[in-house]
A and B are shown apart, each in its own frame.
Chain A
Amino acid sequence: MKKIEAIIREEKLDAVKKALEENSYFGMTVSEVSGRGKQMGIPLQWRAGEYRVDLLPKLKIELVVLDEDVSVAIDAIIRNARTGETGDGKIFILPVESVVRVRTGDRDEGAI
């Protein structure tokens, strides 16, 4: 089992969610995060003049999938989150030791 952590643009959530859904990946956790990469921030305006904000709002999607499903899920995310500009985000893939479903106590593959 692998955990996929995808940092994406806020406005891409709906498209990414839909694509994952079409591939039968329903479960996910989404959180609002701030971060930076090569994009290095944007200027915002004060009453007069500007200031630079270098941590930008992004969304983090977390989902756990079977090893053999990783590439399909990643592909769905990339296709729908990409604009080609800097700031499109990153995907991290981590090994998962165990999964437990709280309602039933089911473990691992049966709990995904």
Chain B
Amino acid sequence: MPVSPGDTAWLLLSSALVMLMTPGLALFYGGMVRRKNILSTLMMSFVALGLVGVLWVLYGYSLSFGTDSAGLIGGFNFLGLMGVGQEPSTVYATTVPHLAFMIFQAMFAIITVALITGAVVERIKFSSLLVFSALWLTVVYCPVAHWVWGDGGWLLNLGALDFAGGTVVHINAGVSALALVLLLGRRRGFPGQAMEPSNIPLVVLGAGLLWFGWFGFNAGSALTAGGLASSAFVATNISAAMAAFTWMVISWLHRRPTVLGTVTGAVVGLVAITPAAGFVEPLAAIPIGGIAAIISYYGMLLLKMKLGMDDSLDVFACHGLGGIWGALATGIFATVAVNAGGADGLLLGNGMQLLKQLVGVVSVGGFAFVATWLLGKLVDVTIGLRVGETEEAVGLDISQHGERAYGGLLR
């Protein structure tokens, strides 16, 4: 098929939008930690741009989107971008250069690796995080991306729908975060000692960049510039808006309408609409976003405040629970009227679709949990996952990076 200039322009721009989400995530996370760990937290996200940006073109893209083996993993035919050029792929995004589709997918792999780090901030050893991230990309991300989006992937063949990465990105990262927390344990002093966010304005800036970039993430996943992209774009905005407002109200009923809660709600709404964006009518995003906020808020209360699990920046509650709800909601609200390539959901009498979505949730969640736990254990027994007691007390900015965020005695 000939290259479409419009589609190509949109996909390249979308790739750039998704790229900006990773620094956005860095700020979103960085503002929530104590000031002695803010640089280290920013770095954990930002470094994914460096690490995954290279691994992806060397072999990650090939393992995810190369020639299928048994529905489980891609082959080596795209190693080092072999055969990935200016001509469109015959299978993926057939109206844009193959390179454009490849780099769009690269940005997804990068932010997924970065998302996990929110669970382990303020105590993981930086070198170990790098080793873990490389292993995780290879053993967990690439196969799961292949199952869901790769030509011949078993979940794709089953008919499980994931428009922009509810399972590949959010369930995958959220569940993996939970497994790492179980291995790593709590931050010293948690939960008794107050761990105040050092800079909530940075969190707001980060959430704003995430919302902005998410238009590339979701509307870009249409892979064409047209009606479907527009529909996904609108659904994305509605869900974010609804979840932000809902979270604010819940927080207000509890005590005060917090800024931190409101921007968290926006992100959770974006997570939940991700798998559904191009399969549901835009207004379905109202229940999808609203319910996502409720599930995530009370999930967070239960996990962190009641069970005392130190998933430090609530990656499982936001991305795991938000992603699971979004995947199931896709099976409820989907309609072929929006996307002929999709399916009808439960509300249109196709309960089977909800079951397929459930298979996607359970298989990806189960695989991510077990594989992450094993990889984390491997890193722990070889080079150790956690920093020493003194390093943790001093803070990771100085102990891991030899820098501090706010230097100088004179202002």
Contact = CB atoms under 8 A, between A and B. Distances in A.
Interface stretch (A1-9, A50-58, A66-74, A89-97): A50-58
B54 interface: no
Q: Give the bracket for the number of chain A residues in contact with chain B.
A: 10 to 19
Contacts of B254: 45
A48 B195 contact: no
B298 A48 contact: yes
B314 interface: yes
B194 A45 contact: no
A43 to B, nearest CB: 8
A53 B194 contact: yes
Q: Give the bracket for the number of chain B residues in contact with chain A.
A: 20 to 34
Nearest to A41: B194
Contact of B255 (A47, A50, A51, A53): A50
Interface string B246-289: 01001100111010110010000000000000000000000000
Contact of B260 (A43, A46, A54): A46
B304 A45 contact: no
Nearest to B314: A47
A19 B255 CA distance: 36
Given A53-B194, A53-B196, A48 B297 contact: yes
Contact of B301 (A43, A44, A49, A54): A49
Contacts of B368: none
Contacts of B194: 44, 51-54
Of A44, A45, A46, most buried by chain B (CB within 10 Å of CB) is A46
B255 A45 contact: yes
A47 B260 contact: yes
Given A53-B194, A53-B196, A48 B255 contact: no
Contacts of B261: 45, 47-48
Nearest to A50: B255
6 contacts: A47-B260, A48-B250, A48-B304, A48-B317, A49-B304, A51-B196
